[in-house]
């Protein structure tokens, strides 16, 4: 029984790392350079994914001269870029807010006085100059992702990885074996690129995971980028909706960005025997509305209305009241704080545009019942509005 669990954890996490490893080892122009993933995936998983890659190249019937990239490697690179971009924007926003004359700053903010708020931004800027923690990233369902060791992060980032206990145990073990730093003082082959790193063993569908995150050092007032990469397929629509509500409750308005990878509903419809897929489509339908139009094109959506409706059904009046009190800075409840969701990056399209390359999805058969689908996965960005 124990072995089954270990196998499953290994397959899910090391399997995804193997995509990044194969991209680095076998692609002449890799779009993600993740040396640590070669260590974490290990030769067995790398072999499996390399074979699938070769099969997918053959199956695709594409011109061999066209560069091909594995979809999960492309996803990693695209989310890498988005994380950096969002962190930089959060830094720029803090800098701009700190530089504003006090009287002009947030004249309508209710709970924090303008000078308090301005002082907070100035503190944040000073912290960043000193290299103290002033930004956070929380990667929920992190698997054995390696961003804290591979990204050129701005200074002052506290990185939190969250996954289930067996995954976090495996990750600690693999990182130690690979010579990856987990605490600042260690001398190692793969140094951390963030100010602090915390791996939290928690089930993100449990009621206590946010409290555990706070106990592990997460600071609700700091600008935070949340990454949900390859996670939503594992959750029911109800669990997904609660997870988004949790993040909304934990993130400060104006300083919270969620990047979530997502399979568009139309692709999932292609295979009716994919229950997890249907759950995911259902989740997004109720959350941001259907992201795919009748013509199959991805839509840009304003999430506010549908999320409001969705969450008002879940929260009692008393809960709404207490959540809006807890937020304090807005007269409206937390359900209104989500900004518009955008489909920021349809991976296949982005790959074509940025890299003049095609995406290969070795699991294409699972989703499309024998056909390779052109658009398989995209990333949705949601900003929590101030």
Ligand X SMILES: C[S@@+](CC[C@H](N)C(=O)[O-])C[C@H]1O[C@@H](n2cnc3c(N)ncnc32)[C@H](O)[C@@H]1O
Task: Please identify which residue in the block is written with the tokens 């629509």.
Answer: 237
Supply the minimum distance, in Å, between the C-beta of residue 179 and ligand X.
20
Supply the minimum distance, in Å, between the C-beta of residue 305 and ligand X.
28
* CB closer to ligand X out of 39 and 164: 164
* CB closer to ligand X out of 143 and 148: 143
| CB-based contact 43:352 (threshold 8 Å) | no
Residue 386 class from Cβ within 10 Å (0-12 exposed, 13-18 middle, 19+ buried)?
Answer: middle
CB-based contacts of 151, cutoff 8 Å, min separation 6: 80, 83, 84, 193
Nearest alpha-carbon partner for 224 in 189, 259, 190, 199:
259
Give the count of beta carbons closer than 10 Å to the beta carbon of residue 141. Answer: 23
Asked if 142 touches ligand X (CB under 6 A), the answer is: yes
* CB closer to ligand X out of 86 and 229: 229
Residues paired with residue 339 on neighbouring β-strands, in sequence order: none
Supply the minimum distance, in Å, between the C-beta of residue 171 and ligand X.
9
Q: Mind giving me the DSSP string for 122-180?
A: HHHHHHHHHT---EEEEEET-TT--HHHHS-PPTTEEEEEEE-HHHHHHHHHHHHHHTB
* CB closer to ligand X out of 336 and 345: 345
Supply the minimum distance, in Å, between the C-beta of residue 246 and ligand X.
11
* CB closer to ligand X out of 13 and 241: 13
* CB closer to ligand X out of 226 and 338: 226
Span 167-186, contacts to ligand X by CB under 6 A: 167
CA 247 to chain centre: 12
- Show the CA angle centred on residue 160, arms to residues 235 and 252, nearest 5°: 80
Q: How far apart are the first and last CA of the chain?
A: 48
Supply the minimum distance, in Å, between the C-beta of residue 108 and ligand X.
37
Stretch that binds ligand X, among 12-20, 88-96, 288-296, 323-331 (CB under 6 A): 12-20
* CB closer to ligand X out of 26 and 234: 234
- In angstroms, the CA 197 to CA 171 distance is 13
Of the residues 148, 230, 240, 364, which one makes contact with ligand X according to CB under 6 A: 230
Count residues near ligand X (CB under 6 A): 18
Span 196-225, contacts to ligand X by CB under 6 A: 203-205
Contact positions vs ligand X (CB under 6 A): 12-13, 16, 141-143, 145, 162-164, 167, 203-205, 229-231, 234
């Amino acid at each position: 029984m124990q072995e089954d669990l270990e196998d499953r954890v290994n397959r899910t996490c090391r399997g995804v790392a193997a995509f990044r490893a194969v991209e680095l080892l076998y692609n002449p122009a890799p779009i993600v350079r993740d040396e640590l993933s070669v260590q974490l995936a290990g030769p067995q998983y790398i072999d499996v994914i390399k074979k699938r890659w070769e099969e997918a190249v053959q199956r695709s019937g594409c011109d061999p001269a066209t560069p091909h990239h594995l979809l999960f490697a492309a996803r990693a690179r695209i989310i890498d870029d988005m994380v950096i971009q969002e962190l930089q924007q959060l830094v720029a926003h803090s800098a701009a807010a700190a530089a504003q004359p006090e009287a002009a700053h947030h004249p309508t903010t209710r709970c924090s006085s303008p000078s308090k708020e301005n002082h907070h931004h100035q503190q944040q800027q000073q912290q960043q100059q000193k290299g103290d923690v002033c930004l956070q990233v929380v990667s929920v369902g992190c698997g054995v992702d390696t961003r804290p060791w591979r990204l050129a992060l701005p200074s002052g980032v506290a990185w939190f990885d969250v996954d289930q206990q067996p995954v976090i145990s495996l990750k600690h073990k693999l990182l130690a074996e690979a010579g990856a730093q987990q605490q600042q003082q260690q001398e190692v082959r793969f140094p951390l690129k963030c100010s602090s790193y915390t791996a939290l063993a928690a089930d993100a569908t449990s009621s206590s995971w946010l409290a555990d995150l706070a106990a592990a050092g997460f600071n609700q007032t700091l600008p935070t980028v949340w990454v949900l990469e390859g996670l939503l397929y594992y959750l029911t629509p109800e669990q997904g909706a609660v997870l988004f509500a949790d993040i909304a409750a934990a993130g400060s308005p104006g300083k919270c960005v969620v990047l979530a990878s997502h399979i568009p509903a139309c692709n999932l419809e292609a295979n009716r025997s994919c229950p997890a897929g249907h759950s995911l489509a259902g989740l997004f339908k109720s959350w941001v509305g259907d992201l795919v139009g009748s013509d199959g094109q991805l839509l840009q959506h304003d999430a506010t209305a549908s999320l409001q409706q969705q969450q008002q059904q879940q929260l009692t009046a008393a809960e709404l009241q207490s959540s809006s009190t807890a937020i304090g800075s807005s007269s409206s409840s937390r359900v209104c704080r989500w900004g518009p969701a955008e489909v920021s990056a349809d991976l296949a399209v982005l790959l074509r545009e940025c890299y003049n390359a095609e995406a290969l999805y070795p699991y294409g058969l699972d989703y499309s019942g024998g056909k390779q689908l052109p658009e398989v996965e995209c990333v949705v960005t949601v900003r929590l509005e101030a």
